[in-house]
Amino acid sequence: MIEALKGTEAMNKMGGRFKLSALIQKRLLELMQGGRPLIEDTEGKTQMEIVIDEILQDKISMDFEAHDPIELPKL
């Protein structure tokens, strides 16, 4: 498990574990579709570690109040 997720810093930044989870999922999808990391040091890090570092370094956030509902892909 990623050490940063054991603490509460990332969860507190987002306002709860469910909002944090939604942001992680959205950003992971962006990275998997070819998005570029917003942090410099990505050497040897998984995409999940990159997303957590982006959150902790305030590179990404999500305004859940101002956005339209997230459309999920149909299975």
- CA gap 47, 33 in Å, rounded: 12
Please compute, for residue 18, the number of CA atoms within 13 A of its CA located in the half-sphere on the CB side: 1
Rounded distance between C-alpha atoms, residue 49 and residue 53, angstroms:
6
pLDDT for residue 67:
55
Contact criterion met (CB below 8 Å) for 52 and 2: yes
Strands (E), the chain: none
Threshold 0.85, pTM exceeds? no
Q: For residue 6, what pLDDT is reported? A: 75
Residue 8, token pair as written in the block: 């509460």
Low-confidence ranges of the chain (pLDDT < 70): 1, 64-70, 75
Helix, strand, coil % over all residues of the chain, rounded to 5: 50, 0, 50
